[in-house]
A and B are shown apart, each in its own frame.
Chain A
Amino acid sequence: MKDSVKPFVVLVGLLVLWHTLVMAFDMPSYILPGPLAVANSMVDNASLLWEHTLVTLSEMLLGLLLGVLLGIILALVLVYFTALRPWLLPPLLITQAIPVFALAPILMLWFGYGLTSKVVMTILVIFFPVATCCYDGLRHTHQGWLDMAQTMGGNRLAILRHIRWPAALPALASGLRVAVVVAPIGAVVGEWVGSSAGLGYLMLQANARLWTDQMFAALTVLAFCSVTLYYTTDRVLRRLIPWQPETSQE
């Protein structure tokens, strides 16, 4: 079976399992609606879902973009300004030690109920994995390459651009994969704490009214977006880093 088909097979399997569960235990639809009911709700609320999906997606993508940038800049600063390292590390760790759930209300207070606070939440959950992976990658450049570059009389910027940066890309890619997976957490948690739009908001509203099918519809769309985002990122990264070492050939 082709690798690209396998996720869909898993998906269909899960749907069938879900359907049989609902049928077998005769679940009331406000506890667990069946896949067909959810699909129905998706069709009925298509335009509503679309509208809110766009909001959540833009929060996620904007947060991802800025968070990745911030992470990379931090990694470069940590590598090239060693004196700053002991000053930077504690505050960075504090931002990660406090759960985003606890920070969310404060961020709402500071950045309002709109897009900004969700983007900030997303940045908060993703910049750290990106920064640590990128930092690790930059630090572990093969010493032989650096020695050679030194005997060639290379300048620091060129060495970063042609050797250290590309050498760090596989590590950065792992950071990006993690970032893409956790980005929805930032956005949706932000929407739960306070918002007037987005899939998280829609889920809260539907939940309050026991429109469980609509809630599941929103959840399904969110899951679809996350999974698509992951696979797209993975494909793009593989294409961009063809020399990435793959030790296990399955």
Chain B
Amino acid sequence: MFDVIIRRASLRFGNHCVFTDLNLTLKGGQWTCLLGGSGVGKTSLLRLIAALPAGETTGEVVCQDGFSVHHRIAWMAQQDLLLPWFSVLDNITLGQRLRRNLTDVFTRRPLLSAEVQEQAMSILEKVGLSAKADVLPQHLSGGQRQRVALARTLMENRPLVLMDEPFGALDAITRLNLQDLACELLQNRTVLLITHDPLEALRLGHEVYHLRGHPARLTDAITPPGKTPRTLDNNGLMALQGKLLDRLRHESFDEQSGEP
């Protein structure tokens, strides 16, 4: 699996410089977690990588194999972004729908080939929702909705997965379960997970970065030991969590006193 290299990335909104000269390498087939307080520029960095509109940006995002990241990205946002008019199955095959062009429509190529349908059902089974394939999203719980979003991400089957606080709105138990599920299903993919929860970063990340300051810079990577998803009974992990929490708290303190 190829690394994804972000070189000299910078981003500004008018006079407000969010970050400049940011370098980050996402190791191929591994999870990189990015911690940071709110408003520091995490979402913006993710948008920059995905080439979504975000302020005035410079810098380049390249894959180690020389190709661009374009069309190699699956996007999982803070909200589940399920379309309320589509059933669960239609939601997770949205990509197939959206990529269908006019010739496909005119030649009456079936919307979902048997193969795709089968793949979708097997993914739904993996996330434990095969019984809900024909249900509208409004009849699902928050955790179930996020699992559908995960299934949609898997359906896209892209090597690079960008996730923006995907489990932030869930209760603690549901969140732990989904972390385990995502970790299992997105194994061997290059993942950039943004989170404000140090424990989440430490459980799932092969490398954990912390984005902080104005303009924001990345701290050195923490490489927690052991296989992911790491269990909660690990003392080393808890100590690291304490350290990170302290740093995050300290950062918001700095911010407040740093204001003119």
Name A's B-contacting residues (CB within 8 A).
142, 144-145, 147-155, 157-159, 162-163, 166, 242-243
Contacts and interface: CB of A to CB of B under 8 A. Distances in A.
Nearest to B136: A243
Given A243-B136, A243-B138, A147 B52 contact: yes
A243 B138 CA distance: 8
A159 B85 contact: no
A144 B81 contact: yes
B96 to A, nearest CB: 9
Contacts, number: 63
Interface string B48-88: 00101000000000000000000101110101010111100
Nearest to B54: A147
A144 B46 CA distance: 13
Contact of A158 (B47, B71, B83, B100): B100
Given A149-B98, A151-B50, A163 B73 contact: no
A171 to B, nearest CB: 14
Interface of B: 47, 50, 52, 71, 73-75, 77, 79, 81, 83-86, 94-95, 97-102, 136, 138, 156
24 contacts: A147-B52, A147-B75, A148-B75, A148-B77, A148-B81, A149-B98, A151-B50, A151-B74, A151-B75, A152-B75, A152-B95, A153-B71, A153-B98, A154-B95, A155-B98, A155-B101, A157-B101, A157-B102, A158-B99, A162-B97, A162-B98, A163-B98, A243-B136, A243-B138
Contacts of B52: 147, 150-151
Q: Which of A152, A155, A243 counts the most B-chain CB atoms under 10 A from its CB?
A: A152
Contacts of A163: 83, 98
A179 B74 CA distance: 42
A152 B136 contact: no
Contacts of B73: 151
Contacts of B97: 154, 158, 162
Nearest to A149: B98
The 7 closest A-B pairs by CB, nearest first: A154-B98, A243-B84, A151-B75, A152-B95, A166-B85, A158-B98, A144-B81
Contact of A166 (B83, B98, B102): B83
A166 B100 CA distance: 17
A154 B104 CA distance: 13
B85 A243 contact: yes
A152 B85 contact: no
A16 to B, nearest CB: 43
Given A151-B73, A154-B98, A155-B100, 13 more contacts: A144-B81, A145-B83, A147-B50, A147-B52, A148-B75, A148-B81, A148-B94, A151-B52, A151-B74, A152-B94, A155-B99, A162-B94, A163-B83
A158 B98 CA distance: 5
Contacts of A147: 47, 50, 52, 75, 77
A159 B77 contact: no
A236 to B, nearest CB: 16
A246 B25 CA distance: 46
Nearest to A144: B81
A163 B81 CA distance: 11
Contacts of B71: 153
A177 B149 CA distance: 35
Contacts of A242: 136
A118 B20 CA distance: 64
Nearest to B95: A152
Contacts of B84: 243
A115 B85 CA distance: 39
A94 B56 CA distance: 40
B66 to A, nearest CB: 20
A45 B81 CA distance: 58
B166 to A, nearest CB: 12
Q: Which of B99, B102, B138 counts the most A-chain CB atoms under 10 A from its CB?
A: B99
Contacts of A151: 50, 52, 73-75
